[in-house]
């Protein structure tokens, strides 16, 4: 099927959302029990961690870790936001720089100013958006970013969304209680799909739509570590320390085949990691290729990572010729149960 399709259904009795592009599963969101990115706590300082530049905090969901904070004293309360999923046995990663994201706007209480997504390049549209906010809301009380989804959105929808988010921000920031508490839960899969998948698409919400459009078969294929690509394959295997990726060219051992397989891997790896919910340190063993081709591969790889919705840094090449990435843990690893 050509075009973009958004499906809202359930996976293993949990709300889930699938984004399909031209018949291929492009993104997958599944509700979890763990506190997700966006959750806001009123937390209490427990103890500092010497040598790591941070402190442990107490939250209703267990210990959290906050980096690069000075001047905090034990038992002090503060507002923090979850930035990613915690690794097993580790504290929840949080930040004190709160961010409230919706479909059309992002409100940043600690970073004042009104800004517009750089992807909106039409100057007339940018001027119209600025005028819309000033006329309907006035100078925002907090920092605000108008997202790329505002490019063709209805002005009334944008204004309503901005007002709703600003009201939510005020409710959270004006809460002056002292006990630890969850002040805002992260969006569920269906809400996150509405928030982040703003491109024109056909939307289906009927129970069983995953099965009707072959999503369950594509999810089931994620059980395998091996991914077929043009010119070879690559495998994705999570370990305790990092995610290992190995690229193979099959029977063709020529340098040209190695470069072709590595390029195909670079273009598809962000999608594969996104669907599997994998993050942290990613170590890639590319197929053999001449050193002179590394720059070409790196350029293609960086472009693919920039278009990904999960923040990923291309760290570089090791002495052994491996590629290192550092990827945010913004998804829980996909737990594939019998479908």
Residues 78 and 180: beta-carbon distance below 8 Å: no
What's the domain count of the chain?
Answer: 4
Residues 85 and 115 grouped into a single domain: no
* Structure token pair of residue 192: 């996150």
Element (H, E) at 52: none
Q: Classify residue 61: in a domain, yes or no.
A: yes
Q: Report yes or no on 182 lying in a domain.
A: no
Confidence of residue 20 (pLDDT cuts 50, 70, 90): very high
E-only strand ranges, the chain: 4-11, 14-21, 24-30, 40-49, 54-59, 62-67, 77-82, 92-95, 100-101, 105-108, 114-116, 143-146, 181-184, 202-204, 226-229, 232-238, 243-248, 280-285, 312-317, 323-327
Contact (CB, 8 A) for 261 and 293: no
Domain boundary residue, one of 97, 117, 136? 97
For residue 44, tell me if it sits in a domain: yes
- Where residue 337 falls among pLDDT bands split at 50, 70, 90? low
Q: What is the pLDDT of residues 162-192, one digit of tens each?
A: 999 999 999 999 988 889 999 999 999 999 9
The model carries a pTM of 0.91
- Domain carrying residue 205: 4-31+190-215
DSSP state of 5: E
CATH number of the domain bearing residue 273: 3.30.1370
Q: pLDDT confidence of 102, banded at 50, 70, 90?
A: very high
Per-residue pLDDT tens over the stretch 69-100? 777 888 999 999 999 999 888 999 999 999 99
Contact 36, 19 (CB under 8 A): no
**70: in domain:** yes
- Both 208 and 155 in a single domain? no
Q: Do 299 and 233 sit in the same domain of this protein?
A: yes
* Residues 215-257: tens digit of each pLDDT: 999 999 999 999 999 879 999 999 989 999 999 998 887 778 9
Share of residues in the chain with pLDDT > 90 (%): 85
Question: Do 23 and 10 fall within a single domain?
Answer: yes
In this structure, of 49-53, 113-117, 221-225, the range with the lowest mean pLDDT score is 49-53
């Amino acid at each position: 099927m050509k075009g973009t399709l958004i499906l809202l259904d359930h996976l293993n009795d949990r709300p889930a959302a699938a984004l399909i592009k031209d018949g291929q599963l492009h993104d997958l969101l599944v509700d979890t029990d763990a506190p997700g990115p966006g959750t806001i706590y009123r937390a209490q300082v427990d103890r500092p961690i010497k040598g790591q530049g941070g402190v442990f905090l107490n939250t209703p969901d267990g210990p959290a870790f906050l980096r690069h904070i000075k001047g905090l004293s034990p038992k002090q309360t503060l507002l923090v936001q979850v930035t990613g999923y915690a690794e097993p046995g580790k504290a929840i990663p949080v930040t004190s720089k709160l961010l409230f994201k919706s479909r059309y706007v992002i409100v940043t209480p600690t970073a004042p100013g009104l800004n517009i997504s750089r992807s909106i390049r039409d100057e007339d549209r940018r001027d119209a958006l600025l005028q819309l906010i000033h006329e309907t809301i006035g100078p925002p009380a907090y920092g605000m970013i108008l997202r790329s989804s505002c490019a063709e959105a209805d002005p009334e929808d944008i204004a309503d969304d901005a007002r709703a988010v600003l009201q939510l921000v005020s409710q959270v920031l004006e809460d002056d209680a002292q006990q630890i508490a969850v002040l805002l839960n992260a969006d569920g899969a269906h809400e996150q799909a509405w928030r982040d998948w703003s491109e024109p698409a056909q939307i289906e919400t009927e129970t069983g739509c995953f099965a009707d459009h072959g999503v369950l078969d594509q999810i089931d294929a994620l059980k395998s570590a091996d991914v077929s690509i043009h010119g070879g394959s690559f495998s994705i295997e999570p370990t305790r320390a990092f995610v290992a990726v190995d690229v193979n060219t099959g029977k063709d051992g020529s340098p040209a085949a190695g470069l072709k397989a590595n390029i195909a891997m670079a273009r598809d790896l962000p999608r594969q990691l996104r669907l599997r919910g994998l993050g942290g340190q990613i170590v890639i063993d590319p197929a053999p290729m001449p050193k002179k081709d590394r720059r070409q591969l790196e350029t293609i790889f960086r472009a693919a990572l920039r278009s990904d919705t999960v923040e990923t840094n291309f760290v570089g090449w090791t002495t052994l010729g491996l590629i290192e990435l550092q990827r945010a843990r913004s998804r829980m690893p996909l737990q594939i149960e019998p479908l």
